[in-house]
Amino acid sequence: MLRSLYDWTMELATRAGARWALAVVSFIESSVFPIPPDVLLIPMVLAERARAWGFAAIATVSSVLGGIAGYAIGLFLFDAIGMPLLEFYGYADKFGDFAERYNSYGAWVVFIAGVTPFPYKVITIASGATGLSVPIFIAASIAARGLRFFIVAGLLYWFGPAIRSFIEKYLGLLTILFVILLVGGFALVKYVL
């Protein structure tokens, strides 16, 4: 089943609408969706290596725009949803301290979350909720998401056939590793923040 899903994704990556799908997934992943754009970016670059840089640019721009949407969710919905929850659990008075500490290191927090498997959407929403400077948020997002997607595209561009063979040989193991990283990222959010 996993192999047929992989083959279907590789075939989908060559279709005309694949770029739009990558843009949509990159956008919504930055604010609400749990699946990272890499699941489309990787097969798209492997299928059409000559377009690797264009695919990375699409993922970067869409992800940053989605991050801005996540920031807006945190900014505009925090008072209506977040603050009542904090008050209910008795943490409302501690949020100011958290926001101050968060904003002291905000650029680094956004950058680290944007490059790693850590759920970026959590940081985009937290950045809006704490009022992190918008220019700092956008600059850190561009740097982080650009670095991440261009490194992935570059590695696949330079080592495409070898990496494709590796992926096809170890698809099951790589899928398990991906799920562990995804679940680990959410666990990190739950127990660290």
Least confident of 60-64, 86-90, 141-145, 148-152: 86-90
pLDDT tens, 60-89?
999 999 999 999 998 999 888 777 866 776
pLDDT tens, 7-61?
666 677 777 788 998 998 899 988 887 778 888 888 889 888 899 999 999 999 9
Tell me, letter by letter, the H, E, C secondary structure of the chain.
CHHHHHHHHHHHCCCCCHHHHHHHHHHHHCCCCCCCCHHHHHHHHHHCHHHHHHHHHHHHHHHHHHHHHHHHHHHHHHHHHHHHHHHHCCCHHHHHHHHHHHHHCHHHHHHHHHHCCCCHHHHHHHHHHHCCCHHHHHHHHHHHHHHHHHHHHHHHHHHHHHHHHHHHHCHHHHHHHHHHHHHHHHHHHHHHC
pLDDT score of 57: 97
**Count of domains observed in the chain:** 1
Q: Which residue has better confidence, 164 or 30?
A: 30
Inform me whether the pLDDT recorded for 177 exceeds 70: yes
Provide the residue range defining the domain that includes 166: 2-192
Inform me whether the pLDDT recorded for 108 exceeds 60: yes
Inform me whether the pLDDT recorded for 136 exceeds 90: yes
Inform me whether the pLDDT recorded for 174 exceeds 90: no
Q: Is the pTM of this model over 0.85?
A: no
